[in-house]
Amino acid sequence: MSQLSQPQTLPLKPLHLPTEPSVWPLPWGYWALLGFIVLAIILTVLLIRRKRKQERAKKAALKMLTSDVSTLSPAEANEILRQAALSYFPRKEVANLTGQSWFSFLDSQLASPRFIPNESSWHSALYTSANPPKDEEANLISDCKYWVQNALPPKRKYRNWNAAS
């Protein structure tokens, strides 16, 4: 009985546990996913910057057109339109446009014409010394605001406005 009371020692060696699996190095699928996420973030940032840069001239033109409407003349509004158009369209095509060709360019960027129907009002406001009535001036300036709001930046279907002529 004395043998039963004493625990027997077996010839066992101590257990050595393996190291726990590590998160690093990541499998290739995780690296690919991480690369895709970084690329998506970079592209998103670049697209946002590009969009802001494109709309900078539009915002400036709208600010000038709405800042002091009471003292703004149609000639000044026309100059603001020209500056805004030069920011988005090729200078060699837009800078030399005057009269009928300028108004057809402006209307070509819109879905419905607003400048050619008012061409006589524009000519009297721009090229004569007589001041047009205030309501007519307000209509011409509102046409300018409408053009800046709806034509800039140019839509894809209106970018080649000069190809037909």
- pLDDT, residue 111, reads 87
CA triple 44-60-101, angle to 5 deg: 105
Does residue 134 belong to any structural domain of this protein? yes
- pLDDT, residue 165, reads 47
Does residue 26 belong to any structural domain of this protein? no
- pLDDT, residue 45, reads 98
Q: Whole-model pTM above 0.75?
A: no
Give mean pLDDT in consecutive 10-residue pieces for the chain, a chain of 165 residues.
Answer: 68 88 84 96 96 89 85 89 90 88 90 88 82 84 91 71 52
What residues contact 68, with CB distance under 8 A and at least 6 apart?
none
Does residue 120 belong to any structural domain of this protein? yes
Does residue 51 belong to any structural domain of this protein? no
56: left (phi over 0), alpha (psi -120 to 50) or beta: alpha
- pLDDT, residue 2, reads 55
Task: Report the number of distinct structural domains present in the chain.
Answer: 1
Does residue 160 belong to any structural domain of this protein? yes
Q: Domain range for residue 77?
A: 72-165
- pLDDT, residue 159, reads 55
- pLDDT, residue 157, reads 56
Does residue 147 belong to any structural domain of this protein? yes
pLDDT tens readout for residues 26-38? 888 989 999 999 9
Contact 153, 55 (CB under 8 A): yes
Does residue 22 belong to any structural domain of this protein? no
Does residue 21 belong to any structural domain of this protein? no
